Amino acid sequence: MTSRVAIVTGAARGIGAATAKRLAEDGFAVAVVDLDEGQCAGTVSAIEGAGGKALAVGADVSDAEQVRAAVDRVATELGAPTVLVNNAGVLRDNLLFKMSDDDWDTVLNVHLRGSFLMSREVQKHMVEAKFGRIVNLSSTSALGNRGQANYSTAKAGLQGLTKTLAIELGKFGITANAIAPGFIATDMTKATAERVGVSFDEFSKAAVGGIPVGRPGAPEDIANTVSFFVDERSGFVSGQVIYVAGGPKA
């Protein structure tokens, strides 16, 4: 699969960085996309240091013109992208009566509008290649989570987007699937601990108490699932949402 080019958004750190590194290990040339191109340097260096090929690209995924320019740059410098991992995300947590219009709009724009814009732009290359893999990062919060009306709505919306993309694009050899992580130890979950006013150790311990496998997830757990979905041999798996949460979710 060394001829394949993958784009991973929100890849400067956390799940996105782990996914970019894993796809590079799998043989992809990887476009490491994040809001600040400079922040992508660590991921790119890790990939290149391991013998892979990567390109740092700065873009606001909620801005159509920036998305178009980013994808064009990837196509020019790395080759036509046929794998897309929509991972970019932000948190603006608050209870409903405290949530501002901007809190709502920012989260919906990055998670949901961003995934739509990226998918619309990249699918052209996938259709031409008659091959494509789209993976959207949802969350167990799609099932509802206190203080996250915006985030939960966005992550639930991504599941609907995923299923619709699978239906519309399947005839072109393109699959679309979603991953809904549970508790994953990242900077984002650390920010959530700060929001609720507890130490990350306390926050993590409480979360692990409800996880059947008895440990928090790691970004690599999600990257491993992405690797499965984008594999050429996974072409009959499409429109699925898999909860990677250390136990069953419904």
pLDDT tens for the chain, 250 residues: list them: 447 999 999 999 999 999 999 999 999 999 999 999 999 999 999 999 999 999 999 999 999 999 999 999 999 999 999 999 999 999 999 999 999 999 999 999 999 999 999 999 999 999 999 999 999 999 999 999 999 999 999 999 999 999 999 999 999 999 999 999 999 999 888 888 887 889 999 999 999 999 999 999 999 999 999 999 999 999 999 999 999 999 999 6
Residue-level pLDDT at 170: 98
Q: How far apart are CA 116 and CA 73, in angstroms?
A: 19
How far apart (Å, rounded) are the C-alpha atoms in residues 10 and 61?
A: 9
3-state helix, strand, coil in the chain (%, to 5): 55, 15, 30
Q: Give the chain's length.
A: 250
Task: State CA 126 to chain mean position distance.
Answer: 18
The predicted pLDDT at position 122 comes to 98
Specify the DSSP element, H or E, that contains 72. helix 64-77
Distance of CA 141 to the CA centre of its chain: 14
Q: Is 243 a catalytic residue?
A: no
Residues 29 and 235: their CA atoms lie apart, in Å, by: 20
Closest to 120 in 3D by CA, of 79, 161, 155, 92: 161
**Cα separation of 239 and 174, whole Å?**
11
Catalytic hit among 28, 104, 151, 243: 151
pLDDT of residue 188: 85
Q: What is the model's pLDDT at position 36? A: 98
Tokens of 93: 């947590």
**Whole-angstrom Cα distance, residue 102 to residue 224?**
34
β 174-181/132-137 pair status: parallel
In 3D, which of 131, 133, 126 has the Cα closest to residue 229?
133
User: How far apart are the C-alpha atoms of 218 and 183, rounded to whole Å?
Assistant: 9
